[in-house]
Copies of this chain bind each other. A is one copy, B any other.
Amino acid sequence: MPMPTLAVVGATGAVGAVMCDLLSSRRNVWGEIRVVASARSAGRKVQCRGEELTVQALRPEVFDGVDVAMFDVPDEISAEWAPVAVSRGAVAVDNSGAFRMDRDVPLVVPEINPEQVRNRPKGIIANANCTTLAMIVAVAPLHREYGLRELVLASYQAVSGAGQVGVDTLHDQLAKIAGDRVLGSRPGNVRQAVGDDLGPFPAPLALNVVPWAGSLKEAGWSSEELKVRNESRKILGLPDLKVSATCVRVPVVTGHSVAVHAVFGTEVDAEGAREALRNAPGVILVDDPAAGEFPMPIDAVGTDPSWVGRLRRSMDDPRALDLFVTGDNLRKGAALNTAQIAELLAAELASR
Protein backbone atom coordinates (compact mmCIF):
# COMPACT_ATOMS: atom_id res chain seq x y z
CA MET A 1 0.00 0.00 0.00
CA PRO A 2 1.19 3.58 -0.58
CA MET A 3 2.58 5.58 2.33
CA PRO A 4 -0.30 6.87 4.46
CA THR A 5 -1.57 10.46 4.54
CA LEU A 6 -1.18 12.46 7.74
CA ALA A 7 -3.03 15.57 8.86
CA VAL A 8 -1.55 17.82 11.58
CA VAL A 9 -4.40 19.82 13.10
CA GLY A 10 -3.18 22.81 15.14
CA ALA A 11 0.00 23.08 13.08
CA THR A 12 0.63 26.73 13.91
CA GLY A 13 0.66 26.37 17.73
CA ALA A 14 3.64 25.79 20.03
CA VAL A 15 3.18 22.00 19.95
CA GLY A 16 2.35 22.04 16.23
CA ALA A 17 5.68 23.72 15.48
CA VAL A 18 7.54 21.00 17.39
CA MET A 19 5.46 18.40 15.54
CA CYS A 20 6.67 19.76 12.18
CA ASP A 21 10.26 19.70 13.51
CA LEU A 22 9.82 16.07 14.55
CA LEU A 23 8.28 15.04 11.23
CA SER A 24 11.35 16.55 9.55
CA SER A 25 13.84 14.65 11.69
CA ARG A 26 12.24 11.23 12.36
CA ARG A 27 12.27 8.28 9.98
CA ASN A 28 9.71 9.21 7.35
CA VAL A 29 6.68 6.92 7.21
CA TRP A 30 4.25 9.39 5.67
CA GLY A 31 3.13 10.12 2.12
CA GLU A 32 1.24 13.40 1.96
CA ILE A 33 1.24 15.62 5.05
CA ARG A 34 -1.53 18.20 5.41
CA VAL A 35 -1.18 21.07 7.89
CA VAL A 36 -4.46 22.32 9.28
CA ALA A 37 -5.38 25.16 11.63
CA SER A 38 -8.14 27.67 12.33
CA ALA A 39 -9.47 29.78 9.43
CA ARG A 40 -7.48 32.67 10.88
CA SER A 41 -4.20 30.86 10.14
CA ALA A 42 -5.23 29.45 6.74
CA GLY A 43 -2.80 30.37 3.97
CA ARG A 44 0.22 30.62 6.26
CA LYS A 45 3.29 28.64 5.24
CA VAL A 46 4.84 25.93 7.44
CA GLN A 47 8.16 24.14 6.87
CA CYS A 48 7.95 20.36 7.15
CA ARG A 49 10.31 17.68 5.77
CA GLY A 50 12.05 20.39 3.72
CA GLU A 51 8.80 21.27 1.97
CA GLU A 52 6.85 24.46 2.37
CA LEU A 53 3.27 23.50 3.21
CA THR A 54 0.26 25.82 3.09
CA VAL A 55 -1.99 25.77 6.14
CA GLN A 56 -5.55 24.71 5.34
CA ALA A 57 -8.61 25.82 7.27
CA LEU A 58 -10.22 23.21 9.53
CA ARG A 59 -13.33 21.86 7.74
CA PRO A 60 -14.69 18.32 7.19
CA GLU A 61 -13.34 17.93 3.65
CA VAL A 62 -9.77 18.46 4.81
CA PHE A 63 -9.87 14.92 6.27
CA ASP A 64 -10.92 13.20 3.02
CA GLY A 65 -8.21 10.69 2.15
CA VAL A 66 -6.42 11.20 5.47
CA ASP A 67 -5.31 8.01 7.26
CA VAL A 68 -4.14 9.54 10.53
CA ALA A 69 -5.13 12.94 11.94
CA MET A 70 -3.14 14.33 14.86
CA PHE A 71 -4.88 17.01 16.93
CA ASP A 72 -3.04 19.61 19.02
CA VAL A 73 -5.92 21.98 19.72
CA PRO A 74 -8.05 23.01 22.73
CA ASP A 75 -10.37 20.41 24.29
CA GLU A 76 -13.55 21.78 22.76
CA ILE A 77 -12.10 21.81 19.21
CA SER A 78 -10.92 18.22 19.62
CA ALA A 79 -14.27 17.14 21.05
CA GLU A 80 -16.00 18.49 17.95
CA TRP A 81 -13.50 17.69 15.21
CA ALA A 82 -11.84 14.38 16.09
CA PRO A 83 -15.15 12.55 15.41
CA VAL A 84 -15.43 14.45 12.12
CA ALA A 85 -11.97 13.20 11.09
CA VAL A 86 -13.04 9.66 12.03
CA SER A 87 -16.26 9.98 10.03
CA ARG A 88 -14.13 10.87 7.01
CA GLY A 89 -12.05 7.71 7.42
CA ALA A 90 -9.11 8.82 9.54
CA VAL A 91 -7.87 7.54 12.90
CA ALA A 92 -7.61 10.52 15.25
CA VAL A 93 -4.70 10.87 17.69
CA ASP A 94 -5.71 13.56 20.12
CA ASN A 95 -3.46 15.53 22.46
CA SER A 96 -6.26 17.39 24.25
CA GLY A 97 -8.00 16.34 27.45
CA ALA A 98 -11.30 15.72 25.63
CA PHE A 99 -11.08 11.93 25.33
CA ARG A 100 -8.38 10.79 27.74
CA MET A 101 -10.73 9.34 30.32
CA ASP A 102 -13.28 7.98 27.80
CA ARG A 103 -13.58 4.20 28.37
CA ASP A 104 -13.72 3.66 24.62
CA VAL A 105 -10.57 5.66 23.92
CA PRO A 106 -7.17 4.17 24.75
CA LEU A 107 -4.58 6.38 26.41
CA VAL A 108 -1.32 5.29 24.85
CA VAL A 109 2.33 5.75 25.75
CA PRO A 110 4.20 3.67 23.16
CA GLU A 111 6.97 2.66 25.61
CA ILE A 112 4.35 1.34 28.04
CA ASN A 113 1.12 0.14 26.41
CA PRO A 114 1.57 0.16 22.59
CA GLU A 115 -0.86 -2.76 22.22
CA GLN A 116 -3.70 -0.46 23.30
CA VAL A 117 -3.47 1.34 19.95
CA ARG A 118 -5.55 -1.42 18.35
CA ASN A 119 -8.29 -1.11 20.97
CA ARG A 120 -10.03 1.98 19.51
CA PRO A 121 -13.79 1.48 19.06
CA LYS A 122 -14.29 5.21 18.43
CA GLY A 123 -11.37 5.49 16.04
CA ILE A 124 -9.75 7.88 18.52
CA ILE A 125 -6.54 7.42 20.53
CA ALA A 126 -5.65 9.86 23.28
CA ASN A 127 -2.28 11.30 24.20
CA ALA A 128 -1.60 11.92 27.90
CA ASN A 129 -1.06 15.23 29.68
CA CYS A 130 2.48 16.62 29.53
CA THR A 131 3.08 16.29 33.29
CA THR A 132 1.90 12.68 33.34
CA LEU A 133 4.09 11.75 30.37
CA ALA A 134 7.42 13.02 31.69
CA MET A 135 6.95 11.05 34.87
CA ILE A 136 5.15 7.89 33.73
CA VAL A 137 7.87 6.85 31.26
CA ALA A 138 10.27 6.65 34.21
CA VAL A 139 7.83 5.10 36.66
CA ALA A 140 6.53 2.31 34.39
CA PRO A 141 9.80 0.29 34.31
CA LEU A 142 9.96 0.55 38.10
CA HIS A 143 6.36 -0.63 38.33
CA ARG A 144 7.21 -3.68 36.19
CA GLU A 145 10.12 -4.45 38.51
CA TYR A 146 8.53 -3.82 41.90
CA GLY A 147 4.72 -3.42 41.54
CA LEU A 148 3.61 0.18 42.07
CA ARG A 149 1.16 0.98 44.89
CA GLU A 150 1.35 4.73 45.41
CA LEU A 151 2.72 7.95 43.92
CA VAL A 152 3.29 11.25 45.73
CA LEU A 153 4.26 13.88 43.17
CA ALA A 154 5.29 17.53 43.16
CA SER A 155 5.77 19.18 39.79
CA TYR A 156 8.00 21.98 38.50
CA GLN A 157 6.16 22.90 35.28
CA ALA A 158 7.46 25.09 32.48
CA VAL A 159 5.54 28.04 31.06
CA SER A 160 5.38 26.56 27.54
CA GLY A 161 2.86 24.09 28.95
CA ALA A 162 0.49 27.06 28.71
CA GLY A 163 1.40 27.59 25.03
CA GLN A 164 3.43 30.24 23.24
CA VAL A 165 1.60 32.94 25.20
CA GLY A 166 3.05 31.43 28.36
CA VAL A 167 6.58 31.64 26.94
CA ASP A 168 6.07 35.24 25.78
CA THR A 169 4.69 36.19 29.20
CA LEU A 170 7.75 34.87 31.05
CA HIS A 171 10.21 36.55 28.66
CA ASP A 172 8.29 39.85 28.95
CA GLN A 173 8.43 39.62 32.74
CA LEU A 174 12.14 38.75 32.79
CA ALA A 175 12.88 41.73 30.51
CA LYS A 176 11.04 44.00 32.95
CA ILE A 177 12.86 42.80 36.05
CA ALA A 178 16.40 42.42 34.67
CA GLY A 179 18.85 44.86 36.21
CA ASP A 180 16.86 45.59 39.37
CA ARG A 181 18.75 43.72 42.04
CA VAL A 182 16.34 44.53 44.85
CA LEU A 183 13.44 42.70 43.18
CA GLY A 184 12.41 39.53 44.94
CA SER A 185 13.76 40.67 48.28
CA ARG A 186 10.88 42.93 49.38
CA PRO A 187 7.17 42.05 49.55
CA GLY A 188 5.20 43.04 46.48
CA ASN A 189 8.02 44.51 44.43
CA VAL A 190 7.94 41.76 41.81
CA ARG A 191 4.18 42.21 41.35
CA GLN A 192 4.73 45.95 40.93
CA ALA A 193 7.56 45.54 38.40
CA VAL A 194 5.71 42.93 36.35
CA GLY A 195 2.44 44.89 36.29
CA ASP A 196 -0.95 43.54 35.36
CA ASP A 197 0.03 41.44 32.35
CA LEU A 198 0.09 37.96 33.85
CA GLY A 199 -0.70 36.21 30.57
CA PRO A 200 -2.31 32.81 31.17
CA PHE A 201 -1.07 32.60 34.78
CA PRO A 202 -2.75 33.68 38.03
CA ALA A 203 0.42 35.41 39.32
CA PRO A 204 3.85 36.57 38.10
CA LEU A 205 6.26 33.76 37.21
CA ALA A 206 9.49 35.80 37.20
CA LEU A 207 11.33 35.23 40.51
CA ASN A 208 8.36 33.21 41.73
CA VAL A 209 6.76 29.77 41.84
CA VAL A 210 2.98 29.45 41.47
CA PRO A 211 1.32 26.39 43.04
CA TRP A 212 -1.46 26.24 40.47
CA ALA A 213 -2.07 24.81 36.99
CA GLY A 214 -5.42 24.34 35.29
CA SER A 215 -8.86 24.99 36.75
CA LEU A 216 -10.41 24.41 40.18
CA LYS A 217 -12.04 20.99 40.65
CA GLU A 218 -13.56 19.25 43.66
CA ALA A 219 -12.16 19.65 47.18
CA GLY A 220 -9.44 22.11 46.21
CA TRP A 221 -7.72 19.93 43.60
CA SER A 222 -6.66 21.49 40.31
CA SER A 223 -7.60 19.91 36.99
CA GLU A 224 -3.90 19.29 36.31
CA GLU A 225 -3.49 17.38 39.58
CA LEU A 226 -6.51 15.17 38.84
CA LYS A 227 -5.31 14.53 35.28
CA VAL A 228 -2.01 13.20 36.59
CA ARG A 229 -3.85 10.88 38.97
CA ASN A 230 -6.45 9.59 36.53
CA GLU A 231 -4.12 9.23 33.56
CA SER A 232 -1.41 7.44 35.56
CA ARG A 233 -4.00 4.88 36.68
CA LYS A 234 -5.30 4.35 33.15
CA ILE A 235 -1.90 4.12 31.42
CA LEU A 236 -0.50 1.66 33.96
CA GLY A 237 -3.77 -0.29 34.17
CA LEU A 238 -3.88 0.26 37.96
CA PRO A 239 -7.37 1.58 38.75
CA ASP A 240 -6.68 1.62 42.50
CA LEU A 241 -3.27 3.32 42.38
CA LYS A 242 -2.98 5.93 45.12
CA VAL A 243 -1.86 9.26 43.66
CA SER A 244 -1.41 12.64 45.34
CA ALA A 245 0.02 15.37 43.10
CA THR A 246 0.79 19.04 43.76
CA CYS A 247 1.26 20.92 40.48
CA VAL A 248 3.43 24.04 40.52
CA ARG A 249 4.45 26.39 37.71
CA VAL A 250 8.07 27.62 37.74
CA PRO A 251 10.00 30.21 35.66
CA VAL A 252 11.36 27.67 33.16
CA VAL A 253 10.62 27.95 29.43
CA THR A 254 10.41 24.28 28.47
CA GLY A 255 10.96 21.11 30.49
CA HIS A 256 8.54 19.79 33.11
CA SER A 257 10.14 18.23 36.18
CA VAL A 258 8.52 16.04 38.83
CA ALA A 259 9.77 15.03 42.27
CA VAL A 260 8.47 11.47 42.64
CA HIS A 261 7.96 9.43 45.82
CA ALA A 262 6.92 5.97 44.65
CA VAL A 263 5.81 3.20 47.00
CA PHE A 264 5.89 -0.39 45.74
CA GLY A 265 4.50 -3.75 46.78
CA THR A 266 7.96 -5.21 47.35
CA GLU A 267 11.29 -4.00 48.68
CA VAL A 268 13.28 -1.90 46.26
CA ASP A 269 16.95 -1.22 45.93
CA ALA A 270 18.36 1.87 44.28
CA GLU A 271 20.91 -0.01 42.16
CA GLY A 272 18.25 -2.42 40.88
CA ALA A 273 16.04 0.54 40.04
CA ARG A 274 18.91 2.20 38.18
CA GLU A 275 19.47 -0.99 36.22
CA ALA A 276 15.77 -1.16 35.27
CA LEU A 277 15.91 2.45 34.11
CA ARG A 278 19.15 1.96 32.13
CA ASN A 279 17.39 -0.74 30.11
CA ALA A 280 14.09 1.13 29.70
CA PRO A 281 13.05 2.69 26.40
CA GLY A 282 12.58 6.46 26.37
CA VAL A 283 14.60 7.00 29.53
CA ILE A 284 18.05 8.46 30.12
CA LEU A 285 19.59 7.93 33.56
CA VAL A 286 21.55 10.96 34.84
CA ASP A 287 22.35 10.12 38.43
CA ASP A 288 25.77 11.21 39.62
CA PRO A 289 25.30 14.12 42.03
CA ALA A 290 29.02 14.19 42.90
CA ALA A 291 29.68 15.04 39.25
CA GLY A 292 26.80 17.54 39.12
CA GLU A 293 24.66 15.13 37.07
CA PHE A 294 20.94 15.20 37.73
CA PRO A 295 17.94 15.86 35.49
CA MET A 296 17.34 19.55 34.68
CA PRO A 297 15.15 21.44 32.20
CA ILE A 298 18.04 23.30 30.53
CA ASP A 299 19.53 19.94 29.53
CA ALA A 300 16.34 17.99 28.77
CA VAL A 301 14.77 20.65 26.52
CA GLY A 302 14.87 19.67 22.86
CA THR A 303 15.54 16.01 23.63
CA ASP A 304 13.28 12.98 23.36
CA PRO A 305 13.74 10.94 26.56
CA SER A 306 12.65 11.42 30.13
CA TRP A 307 15.74 12.35 32.14
CA VAL A 308 15.77 10.49 35.47
CA GLY A 309 18.06 10.83 38.46
CA ARG A 310 18.39 11.44 42.19
CA LEU A 311 17.36 7.84 42.87
CA ARG A 312 17.25 7.15 46.61
CA ARG A 313 15.61 4.40 48.58
CA SER A 314 13.58 5.89 51.41
CA MET A 315 15.46 5.75 54.71
CA ASP A 316 12.22 4.87 56.50
CA ASP A 317 10.44 2.52 54.07
CA PRO A 318 12.31 -0.19 52.15
CA ARG A 319 9.45 -0.28 49.62
CA ALA A 320 9.74 3.41 48.66
CA LEU A 321 11.92 5.20 46.14
CA ASP A 322 12.47 8.92 45.67
CA LEU A 323 13.55 10.25 42.29
CA PHE A 324 13.51 13.33 40.08
CA VAL A 325 12.38 13.34 36.43
CA THR A 326 12.58 16.01 33.73
CA GLY A 327 11.13 15.78 30.23
CA ASP A 328 10.51 18.18 27.35
CA ASN A 329 6.81 18.98 27.74
CA LEU A 330 6.46 19.92 24.06
CA ARG A 331 8.19 16.76 22.79
CA LYS A 332 7.56 13.61 24.88
CA GLY A 333 4.95 15.59 26.77
CA ALA A 334 3.00 16.36 23.59
CA ALA A 335 4.23 16.23 19.99
CA LEU A 336 6.65 13.31 20.28
CA ASN A 337 4.24 10.94 22.01
CA THR A 338 1.55 11.88 19.45
CA ALA A 339 3.99 11.22 16.59
CA GLN A 340 4.99 7.88 18.12
CA ILE A 341 1.33 6.81 18.33
CA ALA A 342 0.78 7.91 14.73
CA GLU A 343 3.82 5.86 13.67
CA LEU A 344 2.34 2.76 15.36
CA LEU A 345 -0.75 3.35 13.22
CA ALA A 346 1.37 3.81 10.08
CA ALA A 347 3.06 0.47 10.80
CA GLU A 348 -0.35 -1.17 11.27
CA LEU A 349 -1.53 0.24 7.93
CA ALA A 350 1.69 -0.91 6.23
CA SER A 351 1.24 -4.46 7.56
CA ARG A 352 -2.26 -4.87 6.11
Tell me the A residues contacting B by CB distance below 8 Å. 150, 152, 154, 156, 160, 167-168, 171, 174-175, 177-179, 181, 183-188, 190-191, 202-204, 207-212, 216, 219-222, 229, 241-244, 246, 248, 250-254, 257, 259, 261, 270, 287, 289-290, 292, 294-303, 309-317, 320, 322, 324
- Given the interface pairs A181-B171, A183-B253, the reply to whether A219 lies near B312 with Cβ below 8 Å is yes
| Stoichiometry (number of copies) | 2
Please name all residues of chain B whose beta carbon is closer than 8 Å to the beta carbon of A243 when the two chains form the complex.
Answer: 315-316
Nearest-CB residue, chain B, relative to A291:
B202
- Distance, CA A64 to CA B301, complexed state (A): 58
- B250 and A301: CB pair below 8 A? no
From B167, B171, B310, give the contact of A220 (CB < 8 A): B310
- Given the interface pairs A186-B301, A212-B294, A261-B152, the reply to whether A251 lies near B251 with Cβ below 8 Å is yes
- B244 and A209: CB pair below 8 A? no
Nearest-CB residue, chain B, relative to A310:
B211
- Distance, CA A320 to CA B250, complexed state (A): 25
- B184 and A298: CB pair below 8 A? yes
- A316 and B184: CB pair below 8 A? no
- Top 3 A-B residue pairs of the complex, sorted by shortest distance between their CB atoms: A184-B253, A178-B178, A154-B154
